[in-house]
Amino acid sequence: MKQLKTFVFVAISFTTISNAYDAEEAKEMYQTDCTKCHDSSVFTRAPKERKVNDIEALKKQVHRCVGATGASWFEEDEENVVQYLDKTFYKFTKEIKKK
């Protein structure tokens, strides 16, 4: 039983770590690849005017936009920037751990 508890604890800790995002890296990638077509003002429009109103829509939109940039981002980069945009502008999710 003790072993099982240890295992569960380690598994949970690992999940928490991999949920962390790297704000600096996200910001840099965003500024390099994402500011050609629109600036950050599209993220702060009134909810009725903007395209994205939940975290799932944000993920999809970031995926589409990454495709539009022509930059080759890894899935982790996309996720990282989703977290960055959510934390900085949208605030759909509250508990995001910073590295």
Residues at the site binding ligand HEC, with contacts judged by CB under 6 A: 30, 33-34, 36-38, 42-43, 50-52, 58, 61-62, 65-66, 68-69, 81, 85
**Residue 21 or 30 with smaller CB distance to ligand HEC:** 30
**Residue 33 or 83 with smaller CB distance to ligand HEC:** 33
- Of residues 81, 89, 66, the one with CA closest to residue 23: 81
Distance, in Å, from the CA atom of 16 to the CA atom of 69, rounded to the nearest integer, reads 30
Q: At its nearest, how many Å lie between ligand HEC and the CB of residue 13?
A: 29
Q: At its nearest, how many Å lie between ligand HEC and the CB of residue 4?
A: 41
**Residue 16 or 53 with smaller CB distance to ligand HEC:** 53
Distance, in Å, from the CA atom of 18 to the CA atom of 20, rounded to the nearest integer, reads 5
Secondary structure of 4-35 in HEC code, one letter for each residue:
HHHHHHHHHHHHHHHHCECHHHHHHHHHHHCC
